[in-house]
Amino acid sequence: MTTEKTSDNPASKNSGNHPGAFQVSDPVGLNWGELLREAARTLAEAGIPDPMRDVRALLTHALSIPVEQVTLIMPDCPPEPEIESFLGLVARRAAREPMAHILGKRAFFGREFIVTADVLDPRPETEHLVERALDAPFRRVLDLGCGSGCILLSLLDERKFATGLGVDISPAALEVSERNARKLGLGQRASFRQSDWFETVDGMFDLIVSNPPYITTTEIDDLPREVREFEPHLALFAGPDGLAAYRAILQGAPRRLLPGGRLIVEIGPTQGDAVCALFESAGLVGCEIGKDLAGRDRVVAGSRPASDPA
């Protein structure tokens, strides 16, 4: 429940700086259990699913404690600086800022990746692309529009003798990729370069992967606020039909794939047939549509004919 803030409460002033802020008249004196219940009620009113899960994660982040300690501290009455830090995070989530942006990280394919507002929030559905890429061996991989680097770095971490190149048009996204490569100890096998698709790419690859923009510009109002207001639109939208990025990729991929090399892209759930047609028009063979765990079309894979001269 949200109540009127008082002007002499530092925590209330901090939370009031954010739309949908969590405000209590006098949070000092409440214990963590009471504060968490109030925070969860605030997030529920803001339309956040599973609000208690989020507030517990926000508390562990605010206090830099493991999640196992949350239950132990419920009876404790925290000091004002800890209250202020926690209320500020709750206010950001109530304004529908993504949890990954607030926490600065996201788990993906069994690893933890740094995430900022400059990159897409890695999603579980994209793990299917990684799984599909791991179905066959590769030594040299290219990730187009690498963002956080989660796809490229997950692949390299699974294949210890592979190397890879990640390209993105955004310098800020490339900085995040490089930070993740260093964090995972993959800086020697992963390189990054600014490029508009294949513009600055050279060399040949036996695997090219991409999670490109594929949302149509007419769908923006249908997206959750977390996506619409906080994630980079450059990485989301691909023209009136959502296929502009695939056309650019298919224009360059055949020239950068070794004979027998594979191209695997993530797609929207209604785009499988259209993207397969683009693969076939570009001369790729064996086009297949893979489904995610929800049974929706999620990736398209094809390859350059093995008999093509290099």
pLDDT at 24: 53
Assign 4 to helix, strand or coil.
coil
pLDDT at 25: 53
| Angle of helix 80-94 versus helix 51-63 axis, rounded to 10 | 140
Residue 126 belongs to a domain: yes
Whether residue 51 is found in the same domain as residue 139: no
Residue 224's pLDDT band, with cuts at 50, 70 and 90, is confident
**Which structure tokens are listed for 89?**
């995070």
Q: What is the pTM of this model?
A: 0.86
Whether residue 82 is found in the same domain as residue 211: no
Whether residue 280 is found in the same domain as residue 185: yes
Whether residue 147 is found in the same domain as residue 279: yes
Whether residue 187 is found in the same domain as residue 56: no
Whether residue 193 is found in the same domain as residue 80: no
Q: Which domain holds residue 71?
A: 10-95
pLDDT tens, residue by residue, 36-77: 999 999 999 999 999 999 999 999 999 999 989 999 999 999
Instruction: Tally the domains of the chain.
Output: 2
Whether residue 78 is found in the same domain as residue 142: no
Nearest Cα residue to 116 out of 147, 86, 85, 91: 147
**Contact yes or no for 85/58 (Cβ under 8 A):** no
The C-alpha atoms of residue 265 and residue 277 are separated, in whole angstroms, by 13
Whether residue 39 is found in the same domain as residue 147: no
pLDDT at 212 over 80: yes
End-of-domain residue from the set 95, 129, 158: 95
pLDDT tens, residue by residue, 228-253: 877 877 777 667 788 999 999 999 99
